Chain A
């Protein structure tokens, strides 16, 4: 009797130890759940020992009394009840750890408990029918089958939802592997039981068979899973080929990665060359931007390794909070193009299991495909933007040609019209009328000349053939000359505010005059009402010239655009004024040549104020190899042979002007 009990205990110890070893190996010893699993395995093993021991004790005594039967039934029920309780407790421990959404938590709990309860019921029912030892064991096996079947049903349903496939299809895929391993385990278990009852030691003979079968079913199911993963990988990579819109790019990558890794959440991060990174997280709630701090932490966690995995306990708090619910993270990264790399991380709400290496490998393969797709999208976007820029430039050029044509034709029409009129009516016209016509013709001639000069200067700056001639320039006379020149056009609206002793600036007088003249002309055209103020003030080595008007002003968003070439804010044919759209572009170019800064300010609707800040010592041109940076980022290198500043020591030019 003692021998049989000892044998039973040894058998249970082997089974329990095996279960523990499996649990520890697959779940990872450091995780809390594995300890819970260890705990309930031990309880289960201990409790299943009770009925056979009791039966064995009574076997050599008297008849089994009704009281004995009741005790046996009670013991048999105790096992399943404890089993269910242990499962529920361990499940609660897992769920508390992974911070799942409440609904999901409830679902998992109900699934686990109902599965265990069904298994326990079967166990109790068979055990109650005939409480002999062998039947109890068979009951345990049957209960195991029920639990496994239930697990397969629910598990395949959950998997089907997370992978977006059909439930039957998933069940069909899972069933062979589950059934095979269960049938083999059950057959072996029963054989072992029968052998054990007859000859306890002969069970040892089954061990090698058990080991081989276990290994082969495991390999089979692995191959099966692997094939499935590759199918999924092809599908996910194929889905990426539809990527075209950069804004949707990371979200789609994350979505596919999440499906592929059957994860609770997935993250796709694009790390730029300069270290800047953007990330998208996809989970049950959909896609959203990943918290920048979490992005940074993820990037630093991963470093430069191609792939790997981490448990949630090793994550920094912000990252862990963003990725929750997560027990562990599988990640991989690849360079996307010359400037960036793509990082994908899939978080799972379960402890690490034997398949994590596979997931990691599949994710690494996927990230390689995704990185190529992302690089393509970025390239596509670059090309698209370049094309749009080209088209815009073309459009601006067409408008420019039309505007130049208009601007040339109008004064030419006046000049020829005036000349034709003079030829036709010279004899009848009063001398004063003739004089008026001639003055008008001259004005129009100047207008033409100014336009042509502007065009030539722009062409010269384009071809880097413009030179800067720096001489000391008396600012006062220069601005007063301009005031005299423009006052008639303003009909008295032009006011000036100049310092009592205007400074002398070392600069190119002609270019400075052209800038201010263009600004005044601009104010005359676009601010037809209200005073226009021309101010100058000097301080800390700089001269500041302002031209302020009371026109409509320039909207904040357009303040840099107006300095672009060919740009006129009002492109309609109702625009108040003609012009080529060159004026302000030219001013900016010339200002840069002089080392000056030209900007515009003033609130919307309150007029515009153009501000020119000019260095008094001409240092803007002191550097020989000056670079002009264009709005499109290209660099103009001035021709050193042509553009070398020739600073005249004498004040001859200004002296003449002063005397004149």
Chain B
């Protein structure tokens, strides 16, 4: 409910690479966001239902559970289906990007990424929702 009307406040980052998690949370916290992180795909949906983030930044190739699989479950769960999701992945071929869009991504960022691009997207979501 909150996610639908409020500007972006809380961001959940899921990536199995510690340095990526660190870099992203460092920058997003500096922008004033409440950042949570997870290192694999297993408990993402449970955490989302509990934390109710305003944005999910999701890696694709992860231990235990594939990001695309997680995304599909999110889109099928009415409680969290409307949460914006940005896929952040090293999978950069046309086919892989298309698979990401098909799974229901709101944004697709390939590694290596530009921090400004991510921050702009977050700001865009905040402005758009306001």
Q: Does B110 contact A421, Cβ atoms closer than 8 Å?
A: no
Q: Which of B55-81 contact A (CB under 8 A)?
A: 60-69
Chain B residues whose C-beta falls within 8 Å of the C-beta of A402 in the assembled complex: 91, 93
Q: Is B32 on the interface with A (CB-CB < 8 A)?
A: no
Partner pick for B65 among A407, A409, A428, A574, CB 8 A cutoff? A574
Partner pick for A440 among B19, B27, B30, B65, CB 8 A cutoff? B19
Q: What is the bound-complex CA distance between A424 and B64, given in angstroms?
A: 34
Q: Does A573 contact B92, Cβ atoms closer than 8 Å?
A: no
Chain B residue at minimal CB-CB distance from A418: B23
Q: Does A574 contact B64, Cβ atoms closer than 8 Å?
A: yes
Q: Which of B18-36 contact A (CB under 8 A)?
A: 18-20, 22-24, 26-27, 30
Count chain B residues whose beta carbon lies closer than 8 angstroms to a beta carbon of A. 32
Q: What is the bound-complex CA distance between A565 and B110, given in angstroms?
A: 27
Q: Does B115 contact A421, Cβ atoms closer than 8 Å?
A: yes
Q: Which of A437-466 contact B (CB under 8 A)?
A: 437, 440-441, 443-444
Q: Does A437 contact B22, Cβ atoms closer than 8 Å?
A: yes
Partner pick for A406 among B63, B65, B68, B91, CB 8 A cutoff? B91
Q: Does A409 contact B61, Cβ atoms closer than 8 Å?
A: no
Partner pick for A574 among B62, B111, B112, CB 8 A cutoff? B62
Stretch at the interface among A174-182, A575-583, A643-651: A575-583
Q: Is A321 on the interface with B (CB-CB < 8 A)?
A: no
Q: Does A414 contact B66, Cβ atoms closer than 8 Å?
A: no
Chain A residues whose C-beta falls within 8 Å of the C-beta of B18 in the assembled complex: 440
Q: Does A578 contact B61, Cβ atoms closer than 8 Å?
A: yes
Binary contact track B108-130/A, C-beta < 8 Å → 1, others 0: 00111111100000000000000
Q: What is the bound-complex CA distance between A421 and B19, given in angstroms?
A: 12
Please judge, given known A-B contacts A425-B27, A425-B30, whether A410 and B111 are in contact too, CB under 8 Å.
Answer: yes
Binary contact track B87-106/A, C-beta < 8 Å → 1, others 0: 00011110000000000000
Q: Is B4 on the interface with A (CB-CB < 8 A)?
A: no
Shortest Cβ gap from B6 to chain A (Å) = 26
Q: Is A288 on the interface with B (CB-CB < 8 A)?
A: no
Chain A residues whose C-beta falls within 8 Å of the C-beta of B27 in the assembled complex: 420-421, 424-425
B19, B90, B112 — most chain A CB neighbours (10 Å): B19
Chain B residues whose C-beta falls within 8 Å of the C-beta of A437 in the assembled complex: 22-23, 26
Q: Does A428 contact B112, Cβ atoms closer than 8 Å?
A: no
Chain B residue at minimal CB-CB distance from A439: B19
Q: Is A417 on the interface with B (CB-CB < 8 A)?
A: yes
Q: Is A316 on the interface with B (CB-CB < 8 A)?
A: no
Chain A residue at minimal CB-CB distance from B109: A413
Q: What is the bound-complex CA distance between A575 and B18, given in angstroms?
A: 17
Chain B residues whose C-beta falls within 8 Å of the C-beta of A415 in the assembled complex: 112
Q: Does A412 contact B112, Cβ atoms closer than 8 Å?
A: yes
- Give the dominant DSSP class at A's interface: helix
Chain B residues whose C-beta falls within 8 Å of the C-beta of A424 in the assembled complex: 27, 30, 115
Shortest Cβ gap from B93 to chain A (Å) = 7
Please judge, given known A-B contacts A417-B20, A574-B63, whether A406 and B90 are in contact too, CB under 8 Å.
Answer: yes
Q: Does B112 contact A406, Cβ atoms closer than 8 Å?
A: no
Q: Is A634 on the interface with B (CB-CB < 8 A)?
A: no
Q: Is A572 on the interface with B (CB-CB < 8 A)?
A: yes
Q: Does A409 contact B60, Cβ atoms closer than 8 Å?
A: no
Shortest Cβ gap from A608 to chain B (Å) = 18
Chain B residue at minimal CB-CB distance from A420: B115
Chain A residues whose C-beta falls within 8 Å of the C-beta of B116 in the assembled complex: 420
Partner pick for A410 among B26, B69, B90, CB 8 A cutoff? B90
Q: Does A410 contact B64, Cβ atoms closer than 8 Å?
A: no
B23, B60, B92 — most chain A CB neighbours (10 Å): B23
Q: Does A405 contact B92, Cβ atoms closer than 8 Å?
A: yes
Shortest Cβ gap from B50 to chain A (Å) = 23
Shortest Cβ gap from B26 to chain A (Å) = 6
Shortest Cβ gap from B20 to chain A (Å) = 6
Task: Pick 8 A–B contacts, CB within 8 A, sort by A.
Answer: A409-B112, A412-B112, A413-B90, A417-B113, A420-B23, A437-B22, A443-B19, A574-B63
Known contacts A417-B19, A575-B63, A578-B61; 12 additional CB pairs below 8 A are A405-B90, A405-B93, A407-B90, A413-B113, A420-B23, A420-B116, A425-B26, A433-B26, A443-B19, A444-B19, A574-B65, A575-B61
- A-side residues, CB < 8 A to B, are 402, 405-407, 409-410, 412-418, 420-421, 424-425, 428, 433, 436-437, 440-441, 443-444, 572-578
Q: Which 5 A-B pairs have the closest CB atoms?
A: A413-B111, A409-B90, A417-B23, A413-B112, A414-B19
